[in-house]
Amino acid sequence: MIQINDKKDCTGCHACASACPRKCIVLRADNEGFQYPQVDTDTCIRCGACVRVCPVLHPYELRRPLRVCAYRHTCEAVRMQSSSGGVFTRLAEEIIRKGGVVFGAKYDERWQVMHTWTDTMEGVACLRGAKYVQSDIGQTFSEARTFLKQGRWVLFTGTPCQIAGLKHFLKVEYDTLLTADVVCHGVPSPRVWQVYLDAVNPRHEPITTLTMRNKSQGWSRYCMEIRTAKHCLYSGRASRNVFSRGFLADFYLRPSCHACLAKQGRSGSDLTLGDFWGIAEVCPSMDDDLGVSLVVIHSPQGMNFCGALGVCQKEVTYEQVIRANPALERSAPLTSYRAEFWERFSKEGMRAVSQLWWKKRVWKILRLIMMIK
């Protein structure tokens, strides 16, 4: 029976709940908004299925990538609607052309993030773009297995810990499965995200557009934009946005993100996708500030698929990439401000982020001055 004694030992991947034959495991949110498994001990038969599929208890081994490359989608409109260079869309196009199914994260009616699937390019549009909140996997592991057993192609995208959970849940390799995780800094709290939305939209008007990576000012200076049918609730540089600042300052990441066991290729994924930060130094000719995708290939399945699509437009070395993309290997540091944030958040809401962000920034400046002296 799965037991969580330390919250850093649970990624919330849903593998245990998906594998339970009696369906006696449910994931419920704690006071920080992160989901953890709870077992109905009256119906549990102690079969151990939940323990066997836990990616934290059974982490995969470290892998060196087979190939690393840069990619830009040929359609500029696709790149503008994507967080980076549009490689996810290119992969999805091919999977759907094969009659397959694409799994990814989308916003629900409350603008929280959930995993879902689609077999149309219209549906892929909702899965496109970064969403800096932990998604609810729901039943998608089981749904993916059903499609795979039917012989359909499946592209399953998610965070590294989610892909590790999926692979443990499936137990067997499928010739028609392509898995892709993302270069992940960590997943912020859904509770903080909801409080932020309530603060920016106090009248609770129906939101029509929400983009965390709007490229109207360029890829390198991306903006967040939230709109209703009548009003622009927020539009500005993400680096100046209170939610983004708290996320990047590590105030409210999931505890497991500070000790991630799915980095360095250990998710079991075929591919790792992300922004190719540092492309201006590695390959200046590709950098037009509309976005370039980083593609890290881990498996023969990923190699064959990307090779057939011509995804490897510019091959680079892993050493060139890791300099500007340290999240490929390193977990987010556990800051002392995290505990202070949660102590203040219930009373102060998003003001706690602003105050702690400036406090942390001032302390960094003082440390720099002391080092110079």
User: Residues 226-238: pLDDT tens digits?
Assistant: 999 999 999 999 8
User: Is 57 a member of any domain?
Assistant: no
Percent of the chain exceeding pLDDT 90 equals 94
Per-residue model confidence (pLDDT) at position 13: 97
Quote the tokens at residue 68: 């690393």
| Residue 81 and residue 267 in contact, taking contact as beta carbons nearer than 8 Å | no
Cβ atoms of 38 and 279 closer than 8 Å:
no
Looking up tokens 């980095």, which residue turns up? 263
Is 61 a domain residue?
Answer: no
User: Are 137 and 91 found together in one domain?
Assistant: yes
Q: What is the pLDDT of residue 361?
A: 76
Quote the longest CA-to-CA distance of the chain.
67
From 208, 212, 210, 220, select the one nearest 241 (Cα to Cα): 212
Q: Examine the domain organization and report whether 344 and 301 are in the same domain.
A: no
| CA 70 remoteness from chain centre | 19
pTM check: above 0.85? yes
Tokens of residue 156, six digits: 């399953």
How does residue 66 score in pLDDT terms, banded at 50, 70 and 90? Answer: very high
> Is the same domain home to 75 and 127?
yes
- Residue (of 28, 36, 27, 29) closest to 8 by Cα position: 36
The enclosing H or E element of 247 equals helix 242-248
Domain tally, the chain: 3
Q: Is residue 60, in this structure, part of any structural domain at all?
A: no
Q: How confident is the model at residue 333 (pLDDT cuts 50, 70, 90)?
A: very high
Closest C-alpha among 340, 107, 335, 77 to residue 215: 77
Say if residue 40 is in the same domain as residue 119: no
How, if at all, do strands 25-29 and 35-39 pair?
Answer: antiparallel
With tokens 């912020």, the residue in question is 188
**Where does 215-277 show beta strands of DSSP type E?**
223-228, 232-237, 271-275
Classify residue 295: in a domain, yes or no. Answer: yes
**Which strands form 113-118's sheet, in the order they lie side by side?**
113-118, 101-107, 154-158, 177-182, 271-275, 293-297, 67-71, 314-316
Same structural domain, 28 and 81: no
Give residue 89's Cα distance to chain centre.
16
**261 and 177 inside one domain:** yes
**Which residues lie closer than 8 Å to 360 by C-beta, 6 or more apart?**
249, 335, 337
Q: Which band of pLDDT confidence, cut at 50, 70 and 90, is reported for residue 167?
A: very high
Give the residue numbers spanning the domain of 30.
Answer: 7-52
Q: How far apart are CA 75 and CA 268, in angstroms?
A: 30
| pLDDT exceeds cutoff 80 at 369 | no
pLDDT digits (tens, 9 = 90+) for 95-148: 999 999 999 999 999 999 999 999 999 999 999 999 999 999 999 999 999 999
208 and 309 co-located in one domain: no
Q: How far apart are CA 337 and CA 31, in angstroms?
A: 17
Same domain, residue pair 85 and 158: yes
Give the angle 85-88-93 at the CA atoms, nearest 5°. Answer: 115
Same domain, 129 and 222: no
Whether residue 1 is contained in a domain is answered as: no
> Is residue 17 domain-resident?
yes
The letter for the amino acid at 53 is V
Do both 130 and 209 map to the same domain? no
Q: What is the mean pLDDT of residues 348-367?
A: 82
| CATH number of the domain encompassing residue 157 | 3.40.640
How far apart CA 365 and CA 368 sit, in angstroms, is 5
pLDDT tens for 15-43 read: 999 999 999 999 999 999 999 999 999 99
Are residues 76 and 215 in contact, defined by beta-carbon separation less than 8 angstroms?
Answer: no
Q: Is 21 domain-assigned?
A: yes
pLDDT exceeds 90 at position 359: no
Dist. CA 32–CA 40, nearest whole Å: 22
Q: Tell me, yes or no, whether 116 and 213 share the same domain.
A: no
Residues 43 and 174 in one domain: no
| Domain-located, residue 58 | no
* Ramachandran bin of 332, using left for φ above 0, alpha for ψ from -120 to 50, beta for the remaining angles: beta
Rounded to 5 degrees, φ, ψ at 273 are: -115, 150
Structural contact between residues 314 and 249, judged by C-beta atoms closer than 8 angstroms: no
Give the whole-angstrom CA distance, residue 279 versus residue 287.
6
* CB of 78 closer than 8 Å to CB of 33: no
Conformation bin of residue 226: beta by default, left when phi > 0, alpha when psi is -120 to 50: beta
- Domain CATH number, residue 33: 3.30.70.20
